[in-house]
Chains A and B, each alone.
Chain A
Amino acid sequence: MSIRRKKRLKAIVPTASFADIAFLLNIFFMVTSNFIKEGHIELKQPGSPEIEALKESQISVALDKEGELWLQGRPCPVGVLEEGVKVLIAELGDKTVMLKIDREVRQEKYGPVFLALSRAGAELALVGQKEKE
């Protein structure tokens, strides 16, 4: 007795458009990505129940737990902070400065930073963590 074998259809997955989709996704990520400039700076942000979401600004100042000051992710002495921020404000046309300070840093370190930024005419966006009331 002869057994008739059914003809099986070969399943083919069309992969020609995979590269196009992948490149479109790439372009999306490239356009929307914002690279972290300050990943190397160690600081613990203070928390408060009264804070809300902020729009990320292009100018960023950070003061780490050792009291070291960083402007745009690069070390910056407090003496030149005012001038540096003034230049960035003029270049970028944005007065908002994201200010990240470690919660344990003392006033003798952050006081001059606030004064320098105030003198530079910056609008401060104090960065912290939202805490429950």
Chain B
Amino acid sequence: MLLSKTRAFFEPDVTSFADIAFLLIFFFILTTTFILPAGSKLDIPAASADPEKAEDKQLTVTLAGEDIHYGPEGEKVTLEELRRSLFGRNFRAKPPDKRIVIVNAKPDVPYELYFDVVMAIHHADGVLALLEEEEKAKK
């Protein structure tokens, strides 16, 4: 007759598992960001614009220092005036090639002003176009 050996019941100690898991949770809670970025999505047309077509026929906003120049004579305007003027153009009703607004910023223009102008163009449904350095030099 065979006698069955009494086997020692092996049970892993899992009491610290919960502690480890909760520590990991604290780590993720502390490192997680729930803040979604805010901004605006822009589709900028290819940078190499035809100089023939460029500034002469299309709307141009020129930025120099803290000043905004806009219109056929390049008059100095405030950001609010620019916003109103761009809205008045009713870009939404126009085809994409007629919505282009060129922003010509001088080297000393802070990004804050550029960002405001770009947002105003985007909000008015305009399409931002950039000027190449060579084209800038010609102007």
User: Of B41, B45, B116, which is within 8 A of A125 by CB?
Assistant: B41
Smallest Cβ-Cβ distance to B115: which chain A residue: A46
User: Of A19, A46, A107, A108, which is within 8 A of B21 by CB?
Assistant: A19
With a cutoff of 8 Å between Cβ atoms, the chain B residues found around residue A36 in the complex are 31, 33
With a cutoff of 8 Å between Cβ atoms, the chain A residues found around residue B111 in the complex are 46, 101-107, 110
Q: Does A3 contact B (CB under 8 A)?
A: no
Q: How many chain-B residues does the 8 Å CB contact rule pick out?
A: 45
Q: Does B1 contact A (CB under 8 A)?
A: no
Segment 28-79 of B: residues with Cβ below 8 Å from A? 28-29, 31-33, 36-48, 63
With a cutoff of 8 Å between Cβ atoms, the chain B residues found around residue A2 in the complex are none
Closest 5 CB pairs of A and B: A22-B21, A29-B28, A108-B107, A103-B112, A46-B115
In the complex, what distance in Å separates the CA atom of A51 from the CA atom of B18? 43
**Which residues of B pack against A, CB within 8 Å?**
14, 17-18, 21-22, 24-25, 28-29, 31-33, 36-48, 63, 105-112, 114-116, 118-120, 122-123, 130, 132-133
Smallest Cβ-Cβ distance to A34: which chain B residue: B33
Q: Are A48 and B116 in contact (CB under 8 A)?
A: yes
Interface size classification for chain A: 35 or more
With a cutoff of 8 Å between Cβ atoms, the chain A residues found around residue B41 in the complex are 54, 96, 123-125
Query: Which DSSP category, helix, strand, loop or mixed, fits chain B's interface?
Result: mixed
Q: How many A-B residue pairs have CB under 8 A?
A: 146
Smallest Cβ-Cβ distance to A99: which chain B residue: B39
Segment 20-71 of A: residues with Cβ below 8 Å from B? 22-23, 25-26, 29-30, 32-36, 46, 48, 50-56
Q: Are B37 and A98 in contact (CB under 8 A)?
A: yes
Q: 18 A-B contacts, Cβ less than 8 Å apart?
A: A22-B21, A22-B25, A29-B24, A32-B32, A36-B31, A46-B116, A50-B123, A51-B119, A103-B110, A104-B112, A107-B107, A112-B133, A114-B44, A115-B47, A115-B130, A124-B44, A126-B115, A127-B37
Q: Are B42 and A128 in contact (CB under 8 A)?
A: no
With a cutoff of 8 Å between Cβ atoms, the chain B residues found around residue A123 in the complex are 41-43
With a cutoff of 8 Å between Cβ atoms, the chain A residues found around residue B63 in the complex are 107
Q: Are B132 and A127 in contact (CB under 8 A)?
A: no
Smallest Cβ-Cβ distance to A24: which chain B residue: B21
**Which residues of A pack against B, CB within 8 Å?**
15, 18-19, 22-23, 25-26, 29-30, 32-36, 46, 48, 50-56, 96, 98, 101-108, 110-112, 114-115, 117-119, 123-130
In the complex, what distance in Å separates the CA atom of A104 from the CA atom of B130? 20
Q: Are B40 and A125 in contact (CB under 8 A)?
A: yes
